[in-house]
Amino acid sequence: MASTPSVSELRRTKFARRLPAELSELAGPAHGTVSLPLHMAWSGLTQFDLERPRLRMSFYRIVLAEGMRDDLVQYLNHDLLISMWPVLRTLISRDIRDTWESAFTELTAHATAVA
């Protein structure tokens, strides 16, 4: 009899389905003010000034948790994600962190190099 997958396994599978094939696909803005659609920013702020570190971090947390594959590519910026990862990885759920780090070793390498 097959065992029932854990909640964590189900969440990781959900997040893995959303991942881009490569981090280089992430073509989101690096500067300016960005508005998120309601399917991602359904509670609280919908506009984020990427020049402000706290708002930029909140923006990335929301997109990683709520975004679908097209959202990730549209809103996340490759260079910003890599530079923010050492701190960002501590602010997101373990399931999101493990999914992204398993798929993209450059995130883990950068986080280790900075730490």
Instruction: Write the pLDDT tens digit of every residue in 35-44.
Output: 999 999 877 8
Q: Would 86 be classed as within a structural domain?
A: yes
Q: Enter the pTM of the model.
A: 0.88
Q: Would 32 be classed as within a structural domain?
A: yes
Any alpha helices (H) in 1-115, and if so which ranges?
7-18, 53-66, 69-75, 78-88, 94-103, 105-114
CA distance 63 to 76: 8
Q: Would 6 be classed as within a structural domain?
A: no
Q: List, in order, residues 6 or more apart from 53 with CB less than 8 Å away.
A: none
The answer to whether 8 and 92 have CB atoms below 8 angstroms apart is no
Q: Would 49 be classed as within a structural domain?
A: yes
User: Residue 1's pLDDT is what?
Assistant: 60
pLDDT tens figures, 44-88:
889 999 999 999 999 999 999 999 999 999 999 999 999 999 999
Q: Would 71 be classed as within a structural domain?
A: yes
Counting the structural domains of the chain, the total is 1
CA distance 87 to 31: 19
Q: Would 109 be classed as within a structural domain?
A: yes
Q: Would 85 be classed as within a structural domain?
A: yes
Q: Would 58 be classed as within a structural domain?
A: yes
**Residue ranges making up the domain that contains 106:** 28-114
